[in-house]
Amino acid sequence: MELTEVNKKIKNICDFYVITQKLKNTLRTGWVIWKISADRIESVAEHIYGTQMLAFVINSEFELGLDIAKLSLMLAIHELGETVIGDIALDDILAKKITREEKQKIEMQAVLKILKPLNCKEILLETYNEFEQCETKEAKFARVIDRLEACFQCKCYEENGYSDYTTTMKGEHEKLRQERIAKGWTTLAKAWIENNKQVSDFDELYNSLSDYLLDNNIFKKPNKKGKTKNG
């Protein structure tokens, strides 16, 4: 096919779509590390969808007045580098397998390469950098939602019997597990939620929502046919 201007644009669209589709099949590494036994482990694309839905409803219910369009784009674009480098879990950083600075560097290189051909590269890169710099109210909120969605997913796995935090892990991850158990964080959800409070500067809203998750069962266990008990 001759690469006319129109064909170049179509090729850019197709290439970008193909790249982003990789996130549908990129598993969230944390669930692999923590030996989640579900037949289907959450993908990065599913995580993005979850963060966007949470952001929309929390912004609405608490009347936060955030720019939801920017926020939705930010939550999608900040995972773009994982199409190249894969998902690097928080515990990989805490276990010193990679530093935050190294992760940010290789992600940025991947994002720049992916966005280079696109007309919208400036706005996408600007949005990506806004999330990374975490200075605006949308970026700060996006950081909270990124972690909070994982809290919901932890509870989903835990309440449905897919999580066993007593299982021995490997190497530095096992040291982290033992440290958390010593603090009384004896379930995956408890360990994830409480650890986030230690390593990140989250606000009262995060604490209220995550504490509610710890104190309540919110998911219905599916029956053998894959339907919930409510049908």
Residue pLDDT, tens place only, 191-208? 888 888 776 666 788 889
Q: How much is the pTM? A: 0.85
| CATH number of residue 102's parent domain | 1.10.3210.10
In this predicted model, what pLDDT tens digit does every residue of 75-94 receive, in sequence order? 999 999 888 877 666 656 55
User: Is 105 part of a structural domain of the chain?
Assistant: yes
Q: Find all residues with CB under 8 Å of 109, minimum gap 6, and list them.
A: 81
User: Is 224 part of a structural domain of the chain?
Assistant: no
User: Is 230 part of a structural domain of the chain?
Assistant: no
Provide the pLDDT for residue 229.
46
Q: How crowded is residue 164: how many other Cβ atoms within 10 Å of its Cβ?
A: 14
How long is the chain? Answer: 231
User: Is 231 part of a structural domain of the chain?
Assistant: no
Q: How crowded is residue 140: how many other Cβ atoms within 10 Å of its Cβ?
A: 16
User: Is 23 part of a structural domain of the chain?
Assistant: yes
User: Is 173 part of a structural domain of the chain?
Assistant: yes
User: Is 228 part of a structural domain of the chain?
Assistant: no
d(CA 202, CA 230): 34
User: Is 221 part of a structural domain of the chain?
Assistant: no
Q: Which alpha helices (DSSP H) does 78-170 contain, by range? A: 82-85, 90-94, 100-115, 121-133, 137-159
Q: What is the DSSP letter of 25?
A: S
d(CA 182, CA 190): 12
Q: Report the sign of the C-alpha dihedral through residues 6, 10, 16, 19, in that order.
A: negative
The domain tally of the chain equals 1
188 Cα distance to chain centroid? 16
Domain range enclosing 58:
5-215
